[in-house]
């Protein structure tokens, strides 16, 4: 399974997972991680850590601009498309909506001052008021990019961060099962787990560890274990991954467009897994062919892995 295909599956897992709460149904839970969405995001972080650490090693001087070109063009386009499209359905006056829409684009494009609301949008949806609930992961992802740059992708420091993040995550998983109820513990838990996955992927790349297929299969089974399953996930992802690329990498487009598309469907009572997937694929294809792929061609040097 190529990294492109694995990322696409991970993005679709997030779509499937979000379909349930966004349509007002109970979340679909699995063992090992909280839900399919958490599994999909976890896979993304492992692959990201593995590939971007290789990018840093190839050319540290162009590393950050490559990362910006990978995230920002598609993200900014999705934010603009979102506010323009939702401008036709908002119940707020134009004088209220459009200044907030400009702020929504600017804040989320900057990644760190993330905001999730637009005036008069999705107020009657089961998950009221949230435009795109996945944006927090991009902020976290870019934070890890910067940390990797600051420590110059040195293996001992990457291993130290991996262990520290795992410690925070596991401590909260066992000591604070209600970690999602408070903002501080929620940030610590998600940052710890995601950091462990990202830096574990980076460590396996920097140490030149090649996980054999049989070990990846065993790790995939082990990753279903409750609470500590994600500890096996880096070996599972990298053991099952194989060289090769898809003709079009739709994973990022699926990921950044799916939530608002699903919210529109939910607002009209038409959200299910099939409608969500079918509705988001055209946006993902447009994102890849019109925005992401042209932006990738601007990257200095040879075409990178990610």
All structural domains of the chain with their residue ranges: 3-296
pLDDT at 305: 44
The model's confidence at residue 300, banded by pLDDT at 50, 70 and 90, is confident
Residues of 252-273 as b/e, b for ≥16 C-beta within 10 angstroms? bbbbbbbbbbbbbbbbeeebee
- Residue 151, pLDDT > 90, answer yes
pLDDT at 176: 86
pLDDT at 42: 93
Using one digit for the tens of pLDDT, what is the confidence trace for 230-240?
889 999 999 99
Using one digit for the tens of pLDDT, what is the confidence trace for 6-40?
999 999 999 999 999 999 988 777 754 568 898 89
pLDDT at 205: 96
**Encoded tokens for 43:** 């896979």
Cβ distance 6 to 51 under 8 Å?
no
Find all residues with CB under 8 Å of 135, minimum gap 6, and list them. Answer: 108, 114, 116
Q: How many CA atoms lie within 13 A of 118 on its CB side?
A: 33
Is residue 252 classed as helix, strand or coil in its secondary structure? helix
- Residue 95, pLDDT > 50, answer yes
* Alpha-carbon gap, residue 293 to 246, rounded angstroms: 13
Q: How many CB atoms lie within 10 A of CB 176?
A: 15
pLDDT at 306: 45
Q: Which of 15, 1, 64 is nearest to 280 (CA)?
A: 15
pLDDT at 123: 92
């Amino acid at each position: 399974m190529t990294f492109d295909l694995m990322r696409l599956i991970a993005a679709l897992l997030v779509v499937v997972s979000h379909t349930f709460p966004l349509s007002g149904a109970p979340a679909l839970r699995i063992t090992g991680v909280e839900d399919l969405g958490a599994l999909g995001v976890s896979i993304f972080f492992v692959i990201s850590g593995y590939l971007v650490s290789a990018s840093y090693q190839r050319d540290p001087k162009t590393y950050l601009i490559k990362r910006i070109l990978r995230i920002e063009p598609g993200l900014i386009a999705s934010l603009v498309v979102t506010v323009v499209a939702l401008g036709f359905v908002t119940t707020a006056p134009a004088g209220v909506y459009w200044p907030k829409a400009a702020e929504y684009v600017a804040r989320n494009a900057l990644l760190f001052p993330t905001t999730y609301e637009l005036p008069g949008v999705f107020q009657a949806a089961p998950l009221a008021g949230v435009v795109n609930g996945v944006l927090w992961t991009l902020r976290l992802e870019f934070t890890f990019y910067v940390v990797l740059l600051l420590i110059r992708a040195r293996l001992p420091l990457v291993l130290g961060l991996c262990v520290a993040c795992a410690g925070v995550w596991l401590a909260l998983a066992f000591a604070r099962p209600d970690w999602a109820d408070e903002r501080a513990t929620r940030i610590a838990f998600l940052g710890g787990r995601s950091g462990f996955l990202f830096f574990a992927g980076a460590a396996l790349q920097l140490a030149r560890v090649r996980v054999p297929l049989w070990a990846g299969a065993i790790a995939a089974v082990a990753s279903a274990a409750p609470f500590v399953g994600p500890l096996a996930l880096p070996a599972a992802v990298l053991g099952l991954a194989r060289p090769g690329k898809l003709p079009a990498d739709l994973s990022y487009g699926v990921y950044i467009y799916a939530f608002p598309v699903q919210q529109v469907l939910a607002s009209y009572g038409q959200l299910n897994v099939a409608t969500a997937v079918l509705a988001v694929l055209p946006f993902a294809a447009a994102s890849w062919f019109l925005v992401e792929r042209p932006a990738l061609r601007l990257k200095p040097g040879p075409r990178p892995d990610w």
